[in-house]
């Protein structure tokens, strides 16, 4: 397994963990549990950002900007109507 594959696996795993922590915070029944999940969520989100930045720096994660026309169409589609 090469470094790129390891980083991709780390990124995917971290994204999955973030999803679990988010749902844990949403569904928590007490303030203490909510705070624990929220804190873990924030820490893991920071970890995900670091992994993403490292992959981007090595050219292993490339994102494309959406065309401006498509952005405007999407904004109009989901704009509040009231």
The 10s digit of each residue's pLDDT in 26-46 is 999 999 999 999 999 999 999
Handedness of CA 54, 10, 66, 72 (dihedral sign): negative
Candidates 75, 10, 4; CA nearest to 47 is 10
Q: Would you state the pLDDT for residue 78? A: 92
Mean pLDDT of the chain: 94
**Given pLDDT bands bounded at 50, 70 and 90, which one contains residue 1?**
confident
CA 40/CA 19 separation, integer angstroms? 11
Whether the per-residue pLDDT at 82 is higher than 80: the answer is no
């Amino acid at each position: 397994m090469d470094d790129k594959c390891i980083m991709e696996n780390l990124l995917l795993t971290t994204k999955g963990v973030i999803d679990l922590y988010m749902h844990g915070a949403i569904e928590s029944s007490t303030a203490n549990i909510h705070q624990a999940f929220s804190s873990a969520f924030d820490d893991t989100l920071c970890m995900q950002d670091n992994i993403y930045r490292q992959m981007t720096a090595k050219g292993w994660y490339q994102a494309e900007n959406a065309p401006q026309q498509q952005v405007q169409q999407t904004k109009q589609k989901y704009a509040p109507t009231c």
